[in-house]
Amino acid sequence: MSVTEPHPASLLEVTGLTKSFGGVVANRDIAFAVRPGELVGVIGPNGAGKSTLFDLITGFTRPDAGQVRLDGHDVTGLRPDRICRLGLGRTFQKLRPFHDMTALENVMIGAFLHTADVAEARAVAIDALAKVGLADRAAAHARGLSTGQRKRLELARALATRPRLLLLDEVTGGVDPGAIPGLVALVRELHGRGLALIVIEHNMRVIMDIAQRVLALQLGEVIADGPPAEIMRDRRVIDAYLGEAWRA
Amino acid sequence: MRRALALVLLLAVLVFPLIFVRPFPRHIMIMIFLYGSLATAWNILAGYCGQISLGHAVYFGIGAYTSTLLVRDAALTPWLGMLFGAALAVVVSQAIGYPVFRLRGHYFAIATIGFGEIVQTIVLNWDWIGGARGLFVPIKRPDSLLNFQFHESKAVYYYIALGLLALALGATRWIERSRRGYYFRAIKEDQDAAASLGVQVAREKQAAMAVSAALTALGGTFWAQYVLFIDPESVFPLSLSILICLVAVMGGVGSLWGPLLGAAVLVPLSEGTRVLLGGTGKALDLVIYGALIMLIAVFQPAGLIGLVRQLARRPTLTAGARAQRESAA
Amino acid sequence: MGFVYALVAAGLSLIFGLMELVNFAHGEFLMLAMYVAFFAWSLGRLDPIVGAPVAAVALGGVGWLTYHGLIRRVLAAPMLAQIFATFGLAVFLRSSAQFAFGADFLTIKDPWLAGRVSLGGLFIGLPQIVASLAALGAFLGLHLFLSRSETGLALSATAQDRQAASLMGIDTQRMFALGWVIGGVCVGVAGALLAMFFYIYPDVGGPFALLAYVTVALGGFGNVPGTLAAGVVVGLVEALAGLLIPPAFKYSVVFGLYLVVVLWRPQGLFGRF
C-alpha cells in the first residue's frame, strides 16, 4: 500500500480514515490525496467500503479516527451542508431526487447555494440541465424520469453548487449500456473544464478511459494507488477483484 | 376567466358584513378567517417544510396570554401586545425547535405533543397568570380600535380577521416564491439530499417554525380580544392543535389555498353540528373530524384541494410549478 | 405499574418493528379495553380478572379491523398520511366514546380483589399487585410466543427483515395483521387490569399513550423484551416524580425522559435502531 505524503498543493487529503459499524470495519486507515483538477477512480468489490468513504468525506458520517482536509483545512466531521459550501459535491449511489419537484426545481436547489434570487437560480439550473443533456425534461417531475435521466439530474444538481471536487458514486450503475458513452463523455468534459473528480465505478472500461489515478479498496483498506495501467496489473487487485481475464 | 371569478369572490368577501348584519353569519366568517389563518400558518411549517407539529396551540396561547397580560398589567394596547406575543412565540418556538428538529417523523410529532402538554400544564398551575381560572380581558368601553374591542357589532372584528388571513396567505405566498420556499420543499422531500447540496437544514426549519409561530400567536391575540376571556383549556389544549392540523390537512397541506378551503368546510360543519345537536354536538363533530382525517389520509392525502383539482381535471401542479408558471407568464 | 406499561408498550413496539408505524391510537385502544371491561362487569357481572380475556379478544378484533380497514391502505403512503391515519383514528375513537358513553368517570365497584396489602411497611393496593403480576405474566407469555412458537418466530423474522421473510414464504400481510391483533390483545389485557382500579373515561388513553411512547423509546423501538425493562424504569420514574413534585407535572417529567432518550440514545437502552 503506497502512502501518500501530505502534499501542499492537494485539494483533498485523507489520512487514517477509519469507521466501524457495530463491529464491522467499513473503512480502515484510508489515506490518499487528490490534486486540483485530478480525476481519481475508486474500484473495489461490493462491501469494500467505497460509499462509506464518500459518506465520511462529505460529512454524512463521522469517522472513528482520521482526518479529512480540504485545501489544507480540517473538515473532518463537519456537517454536509458546510462541506458542500466549501466546494465538495457528491452524488448518491441510491439516487435521491426530490420526487415531487420538477427536474428544474431539483437543480435549482443546488443553484441556490450561490444566489438567493429565484430567476438567477432558474437560469443557472437551465444551464446545468443543458450541460447534462436534460434541457428538454426541465419541466418533468423527477419521479417520472428514467434511471439514466435521474443520474444526469443528480449530476446537474451537484454541478449547480459549483464544486471544485465532485464525488460521483456509481454514475453508470443501472444505466442502459447505450447511454454510458454519453455519460462518460460528460464526465470527461467536466474534467476538461478543471473539475476534480473522485469516481466510484464498477465498470472497468470507464475507469480505464477517464481515470488518471486509481484507488483500489478491499475490505475497507486501500490495497493499491496508482495510474490505471499499473493498477490493472497489480497482483493484489487482480486477486481481489478483477479476476484472470484482466491479466494482460 | 379565473381572474374575474377571483375578483368577484374578493368583492363578496369584502361586502359580506354590509349585507349580513346579524352576528351569527359574521361570527362564522370570522371563525373561518381565524382558523384559516391558523391553518395557513401551520401549513408553512408542516405542509411546505414537512415538519408535522402537533403542539401548535402553544403559540396560540402565548399570543393570547401575552397581549392579555400586557393589557391587564401595563395598560398596553393589544396591538402592541400582539407584537410582543408574536415575538415571545418566536423565541419559544426556537427554544422548542432546537432539540426537537433533530428528530424525524413520528418522534418529532410525539415530541411536539409533549411540549404542548408541558406548556399547558405550566400555565394551568401558574397562579400569577390566572392558572386554571383563566384571565378576563379588561372591558373597555366605548368600542375602540386602539383598545381592540368592539361590543356593538362584529363588523370590525370581521375585517381584522380578514386582514390576519391576508397576512398569513401573503406570507405563505411570499415564501413559496422565494429561495426559502424551494429549500423547504427540498427538506420535506429528503433533508439529507438537501444538506448535500448546501442547504442548512436546521436553520431553515427554525425559520419555518418562527414564521409559523408568529402568525399563530397573532391569531391568539385576536381570539383574546374577540371573546374577552382566555384560559388554558381554551387556548392551549391538544384538541386545538389537532383542529388546526385537521383544517389544514382537510383542505390540502402544501398548497396556498388548501388550509382556507379546509376552514371554509369545517367551521360551518362544526357550527352546524353544534346548533343541531346541542351539548353533545361537541363530541360528535370531533367524531366526524376523526373519521374525516382517516378518510383523507387513506384516499386523498392531498386534501380537498387535490380533490378539486382532480374534478376540474387540471393536472395537479406542485406549488413550485405553479409559481414557476405564473412568473413565466 | 411498570409491568402494565410494558404490556401496553409491547404492542406498540411490535407494530413499529413490523412496519415502522407509530400507532397514535394506542392510548385509545387502551381506553376501549377499559370500557369493554367495564361493560363486561356492569352487564355481564364479570369481574375484570375474568373480563380480561374478553377485552383481549375484543381488542384483538379491533386491532385486526384497524389493520385491514385502515393501516393496510396507508402502508405505502407518505409518512404524513400514516401519522394522520392513526391520529384520525385516535380522535375518532376518543370522541365516539365521549359521544356514546358520555364524559362521566366510571368505576368498577367491588371487584373480587380489593383492599391493601402491606409489603414491608408500604401499603400497596391488592388490585395493583395482581395487575402487575398478571401483566408480567402476559408479557412473558408474549415473549415465549415470539421466541418459541413458529408463528411467533415468523413474526420476529418479519420485523427484522421484511423482504427476506417474504422470500422465505412468510405471508407478510398476515404477519402485519397478526402484529396488530397481538398489540390489541396486549392492550386488551392491560386495559381490563387497569379497569380494576382506575377511573374510566374517554380521555383516559392520553396519559397512558404518552407513557407507552416513552417506554417504547426507552426500550428501543421494535425491541419487545426491552420494553419490559423500560416499562419498569418508566413506572419508577413516574412514581418518584409523583412523590417529589406536584402531580400535575408528573407527565412533564416523563415526557422529559422521552426527550432525553430520543435525543441522546435514539436506539433506546437496548434497541436495534
CB-CB under 8 Å, C92 with B291: yes
Phi, then psi, of B314 in degrees rounded to 5: -100, 150
Q: Which of A241, A181, A224 is nearest to A40 (CA)?
A: A224
- Report the mean per-residue pLDDT for chain B: 83
Digit-coded pLDDT (tens) for B15-59 = 887 777 777 888 888 999 999 999 999 999 988 888 888 889 999
In which band, very low, low, confident or very high, does the pLDDT at C118 lie, cut at 50, 70 and 90? low
Digit-coded pLDDT (tens) for A105-160 = 999 999 999 888 899 999 999 999 988 888 888 888 888 888 888 888 988 999 99
Residues A4 and A124 in one domain: no
- Report the mean per-residue pLDDT for chain C: 73
Comparison of pLDDT for A9 and B45, the residue scoring more: B45
In a domain, residue B2? The reply is no
pLDDT of residue C215: 76
Residue whose C-alpha cell is 402568525: B215
Mean pLDDT of C162-177: 72
Mean pLDDT of C266-271: 51
pLDDT of residue B169: 92
Hey, is the C-beta of B192 within 8 angstroms of any chain A C-beta?
yes
Comparison of pLDDT for B5 and B314, the residue scoring more: B5
Comparison of pLDDT for B216 and A4, the residue scoring more: B216
In which band, very low, low, confident or very high, does the pLDDT at C111 lie, cut at 50, 70 and 90? low
**How long, in residues, is chain A?**
248
| ipTM computed for the complex | 0.83
Mean pLDDT of C18-41: 79
Mean pLDDT of A12-40: 86
Q: Is the peptide bond before B142 cis (omega within 30 degrees of 0)?
A: yes
Which residues 78-97 in chain A show a CB within 8 A of chain B? 79-81, 84-85, 89-90, 92, 96-97
Is pLDDT above 90 for B209?
A: yes
Mean pLDDT of B3-14: 84
Mean pLDDT of B232-255: 84
Is pLDDT above 50 for A95?
A: yes
Count how many domains chain B has. 1
Mean pLDDT of A176-196: 86
Q: Specify the pairing of strand A165-169 against strand A196-200.
A: parallel
The one-letter code for the residue type at B81 is G
Residues A114 and A135 in one domain: yes
User: Domain of A50?
Assistant: 1-87+163-248
Share of chain B above pLDDT 90, in %: 22
Is pLDDT above 90 for C88?
A: no
Count how many domains chain A has. 2
In a domain, residue B189? The reply is yes
Chain C environment of B286 (Cβ under 8 Å): 91, 94-95, 98
Mean pLDDT of C83-107: 79
pLDDT of residue C271: 46
pLDDT of residue B165: 92
pLDDT of residue A4: 47
pLDDT of residue B89: 93
Nearest by CB to residue B297, choosing from C84, C206, C252, is C84
- pTM, two decimals, is 0.82
Highest mean pLDDT among B34-43, B131-140, B309-318, C168-177: B34-43
Residues A243 and A168 in one domain: yes
Mean pLDDT of C182-188: 81
Q: Are A44 and A50 in contact (CB under 8 A)?
A: yes
Closest chain B residue by Cα to residue C79: B105
Distance CA A46, CA A241 (A): 10
Mean pLDDT of C13-24: 73
Q: Which residues pair with A74 in a beta bridge?
A: A69
CB-CB under 8 Å, C95 with B290: yes
Chain B environment of A90 (Cβ under 8 Å): 196
Is pLDDT above 80 for B162?
A: yes
Is pLDDT above 90 for B139?
A: no
**Rg, C-alpha atoms of chain A:** 18
Lowest mean pLDDT among A21-25, A76-80, B277-281: B277-281
Mean pLDDT of A66-73: 87
- How far apart are the two ends of chain B, measured CA to CA in Å? 16
Phi, then psi, of A187 in degrees rounded to 5: -60, -40
Residues A83 and A174 in one domain: yes
In a domain, residue B201? The reply is yes
Closest chain A residue by Cα to residue B182: A109
Copy the grid coordinates of residue A166: 465532485
Q: Are B97 and B229 in contact (CB under 8 A)?
A: no
Closest chain C residue by Cα to residue B238: C206
Task: Quote the minimal CA–CA distance from C49 to chain B in Å.
Answer: 31
pLDDT of residue B216: 94
Comparison of pLDDT for A5 and A125, the residue scoring more: A125
Mean pLDDT of A189-206: 88
Is pLDDT above 50 for C273?
A: no
Residue A206 belongs to domain with CATH number: 3.40.50.300
Task: Quote the minimal CA–CA distance from C29 to chain B in Å.
Answer: 15
pLDDT of residue A1: 38
Is pLDDT above 50 for B329?
A: no
In a domain, residue B6? The reply is no
Digit-coded pLDDT (tens) for B289-314 = 778 778 877 777 777 777 777 777 65
CB-CB under 8 Å, B50 with C81: no
In which band, very low, low, confident or very high, does the pLDDT at A248 lie, cut at 50, 70 and 90? very low
In a domain, residue B306? The reply is yes
Q: What DSSP string describes C34-64?
A: HHHHHHHHHHH---HHHHHHHHHHHHHHHHH
Residues A83 and A2 in one domain: yes
Comparison of pLDDT for C46 and B227, the residue scoring more: B227
Chain B environment of A143 (Cβ under 8 Å): none
In which band, very low, low, confident or very high, does the pLDDT at C266 lie, cut at 50, 70 and 90? low
CB-CB under 8 Å, C94 with B286: yes
Hey, is the C-beta of A66 within 8 angstroms of any chain B C-beta?
no
The one-letter code for the residue type at B288 is I
Nearest by CB to residue B114, choosing from C22, C92, C255, is C255
pLDDT of residue B70: 87
Which of B48, B197, B253 is most worth mutating to test chain A (most A CB atoms within 10 A of its CB)?
B197
Q: What DSSP string describes C158-217?
A: HHH-HHHHHHTT--HHHHHHHHHHHHHHHHHHHHHHHHTTS-B-GGGHHHHHHHHHHHHH
Digit-coded pLDDT (tens) for A72-93 = 888 888 888 889 999 898 988 8
Hey, is the C-beta of B72 within 8 angstroms of any chain A C-beta?
no
Which of A51, A60, A109, A120 is most worth mutating to test chain B (most B CB atoms within 10 A of its CB)?
A109
Residues A75 and A197 in one domain: yes
Share of chain C above pLDDT 70, in %: 72
Chains in contact with C, counting 3 or more C-beta pairs less than 8 Å apart as contact? B
Hey, is the C-beta of B183 within 8 angstroms of any chain A C-beta?
yes
Among A145, A161, A177, identify where a domain stops. Answer: A161
pLDDT of residue B168: 93
Mean pLDDT of B162-185: 91
Hey, is the C-beta of C74 within 8 angstroms of any chain B C-beta?
yes
Angle at B108 between CA A21 and CA C78, to 5 degrees: 85
**How long, in residues, is chain B?**
329
CB-CB under 8 Å, A105 with B185: yes
pLDDT of residue B323: 56
Which of A112, A154, A161, A168 is most worth mutating to test chain B (most B CB atoms within 10 A of its CB)?
A112
Is pLDDT above 90 for C20?
A: no
Q: What DSSP string describes chain A?
A: -PPPPP-TT-SEEEEEEEEEETTEEEEEEEEEEE-TT-EEEEE--TTSSHHHHHHHHTTSS--SEEEEEETTEE-TT--HHHHHHTTEEE--SS----TTSBHHHHHHHHHTTT---HHHHHHHHHHHHHHTT-GGGTTSBGGGS-HHHHHHHHHHHHHTT--SEEEEE-TTTT--GGGHHHHHHHHHHHHHTT-EEEEE-S-HHHHHHH-SEEEEEETTEEEEEE-HHHHHH-HHHIIIII-GGG--
Share of chain B above pLDDT 70, in %: 91
Task: Quote the minimal CA–CA distance from A77 to chain B in Å.
Answer: 14
Nearest by CB to residue B102, choosing from C206, C210, C263, is C263
pLDDT of residue A2: 40
